[in-house]
Amino acid sequence: MQNELKIQNSASVPPEDCVFCKIISRKLPAAVVHQDQDYIAFMDRHPFSEGHTLVCPIRHGETVWDMTEPEIGGLFALASRISKAIIRATSSDGFRFVQNNGEAANQVVAHVHVHIIPVKLSNKGLWMDRKSVQFEDLRAMAERIQKALVN
């Protein structure tokens, strides 16, 4: 008998209380870059850099272990597509994918998500702090990324 693996996450909440589920259902505002029947991409409210975007599945699940392999593939395929648009929109030199699972890994919202964080060569090796950004600026960036999104 195998032991069930469990990831500790004090941010665990039912879907009806999940901040990302509320964004998906439009109960909370977000600067949405893309949404389809399976995934949503929107601007991080406290970005590490200009263009910092989150991509997450519509279906609630806390970690990648709550997803099927095709769902994980779809999540990262969309993240890759969105990353190209972010680079075009921000004229960045590179980007990071960050995907945290569990409290020990700094997962703050217990809904699977991938951070796409654009970086400039001038910031190579520097620690990045979260920034305070006006919501209208996030909306404007989301529009720039949408325009740069190539199917």
CB 41 within 8 A of CB 32: yes
List all residues 6 or more positions away from 138 whose beta carbon is below 8 Å from its beta carbon: 31, 43, 45, 47
113 tagged catalytic: yes
Of the candidates 34, 60, 111, 113, the residue annotated as catalytic is: 113
For residues 108 and 43, give the distance between their C-alpha atoms in angstroms, rounded to a whole number.
16
Which structure tokens are listed for 9?
């996450």
Which structure tokens are listed for 13?
């909440």
CB 53 within 8 A of CB 43: yes
Active site residues: 113
